[in-house]
Structure 1
Amino acid sequence: FAVVGKPFSIISFFSHRWMFGWIGCRWYGWAGFFFGCGSLITMTAVSLDRYLKICHLSYGTWLKRHHAFICLAIIWAYATFWATVPFAGVGSYAPEPFGTSCTLDWWLAQASVAGQAFVLSILFFCLLFPTAVIVFSYVKIILKVKSSTKEVAHYDTRIQNSHILEMKLTKVGRNIYFSLLCWV
């Protein structure tokens, strides 16, 4: 989105108003929602994959490259669905209060029961549920690493190297968690 969308908001920022008309606003809002939702769901899938590979070792033996591609296709279809729903009349995209970029029209969404249901749906399916899965995954990974620390001390260095890898994954999980916390 940074390459495709940010130039629009930068130009509008320096002009102190949205410069690209109604269609440009709808496209920009759609792209922002699409890439934002898709990115968060991708992070969710990565955290779930790591959880399954670390906490349920048999999972890692059957996952192949084509499974990852299928998962990515489903993720971006999911993001496309949620970003496109406002075009079906449930909501819309409109300029934000400062008028230099566009997003979901939150005021219009509150005007009807369908709009309110849409807002609650995206809140749950595009933010709360993915965040809960990420938090669950990394908490379970951290607990698994902590519980295996004592066991690893009794094995040879090869297994200790595996433990070091798990610790690195835990640190990555913490980084993702805190970046998600800042993002929200």
Structure 2
Amino acid sequence: MVTDTLPEGFTDFDMYVFGSLLLLGGVLGFVLNGVTVASFLCVRENRNPSSFLVVNLALADMILNVNGFLAGYATYLRHWPFGQQGCVYHGFHGMISVLASVSFMAAIAWDRYHQYCTRQKLFWSTTMVITAFIWVMAVFWASMPLLGWGVYDFEPMRTCCTLDYTRGDWNYISYMLTLMILYMTFPTYIFLTCYDAINRQFKRVHHHRFNTDIPFRVMWVCWGPYIVVCLYACLFDPEYIHPRIRMMFPVMAKMNPICNVVLYSYGNEFFRGGVWYYLTGQRVAEPTPQKSK
């Protein structure tokens, strides 16, 4: 039954602000990532194994953009219009995109290490195996709550859905800690080791092609607060945190696709030339990593 009653802890202004951010982030991220996909399909120079990882990151983020747009739409309605089952699938849909997005960011870090440090090119066969593995594992782990390990339920505004961290039972704790190891600890290790090696290579050739600290920092600025709340819920009752604050963190996380497309597509010196050509018809020279002295 539809009700006009606002969720506990939220004002009408809160609903308008959160809804606007979700809608804006969803539309802007979808368009920007859509340009990335279109440039890959339409520009021959962009169709290479390394760029395929970037495009799959864009696809994963576009899924999250759709997820955020639906949440923004429901927030403007002041209720979730798709029922409890729709909430479950909304959470499942969002979880797939998050797990795939984090995995592709780690894969891109590993590929960049080889681009700049070992000068080894990625083969299509390797890329296809990595891509298939990432998507299959994302669907597998996101489906666990559908099978009873974890639960998808409403977020504090009750207009979007995610993993229910308010339960705090062993079912939630075991699932969350497993995801933390597989999709935060391991990718973080890849980020730190690969970008540190790239930074040392840049220092050797006295030419910094990009800021190697930014990808890791952006990921943790967007996802860190939400992860802290999820871990906090493993030990304490998250209901002690005000609903408005708890809602800020998933909204911040849903802005991550915009940051990703800027970093990995428009800020990628091996990809942005194709994007520029797709948008303007003007070609730019493709850079070549310098050898260490």
1:177 to partner: Cα distance? 2.5
1:15 to partner: Cα distance? 2.1
Q: What corresponds to 2:72 in structure 1?
A: 10
CA distance in 2, matches of 1:2, 1:104: 15
CA distance in 2, matches of 1:71, 1:8: 30
1:106-145 to 2 correspondences below 5 Å: 106-108=165-167, 110-112=168-170, 114-145=171-202
Q: What corresponds to 1:93 in structure 2?
A: 152
Q: Does 1:30 align with 2:92?
A: yes
Tell me if structure 2 keeps the 8 A contact 1:18–1:95.
Answer: no
Tell me if structure 2 keeps the 8 A contact 1:86–1:93.
Answer: yes
Greater share of helix: 1
Q: What corresponds to 1:159 in structure 2?
A: none
Aligned-partner SS, 2:66: coil
CA distance in 1, matches of 2:118, 2:65: 38
Tell me if structure 2 keeps the 8 A contact 1:11–1:19.
Answer: no
CA distance in 1, matches of 2:88, 2:161: 7
Report the AA paired with residue 78 of structure 2.
Answer: H
Q: Deviation string for 1:97-136 (max 9, x for gaps)?
A: 121110001133x223x43111111112112221221122
Sequence identity percentage: 26
1:71-86 to 2 correspondences below 5 Å: 71-86=130-145
CA distance in 2, matches of 1:3, 1:43: 17
1:4 to partner: Cα distance? 2.9
Aligned-partner SS, 1:107: coil
CA distance in 2, matches of 1:83, 1:75: 12
Detail structure 1 runs of 4+ shifted over 3 Å in the superposition.
none
Tell me if structure 2 keeps the 8 A contact 1:12–1:19.
Answer: yes
Q: Deviation string for 1:48-71 (max 9, x for gaps)?
A: 1111332233xx15x312221221
1:183 to partner: Cα distance? 1.5
CA distance in 2, matches of 1:84, 1:54: 37
Q: What corresponds to 2:162 in structure 1?
A: 103
1:2 to partner: Cα distance? 4.7
Report the AA paired with residue 96 of structure 1.
Answer: E
> What is the TM-score of this pair, normalised by structure 2?
0.51
CA distance in 1, matches of 2:126, 2:186: 22
Q: Does 1:52 align with 2:114?
A: yes
Instruction: Note closer, same or farther for the CA distance 1:98–1:91 as it changes in structure 2 (3 Å cut).
Output: same
CA distance in 2, matches of 1:28, 1:34: 10
Q: Give the RMSD, CA atoms, in angstroms.
A: 1.9
Report the AA paired with residue 111 of structure 1.
Answer: D
> What is the TM-score of this pair, normalised by structure 1?
0.79
Deviates more, 1:11-20 or 1:23-32: 11-20
Structure 2 stretches of 5 or more lacking a match? Answer: 1-62, 224-293
Structure 1 stretches of 5 or more lacking a match? Answer: 150-162
1:3 to partner: Cα distance? 5.0
Q: What corresponds to 1:182 in structure 2?
A: 221
Report the AA paired with residue 74 of structure 1.
Answer: F
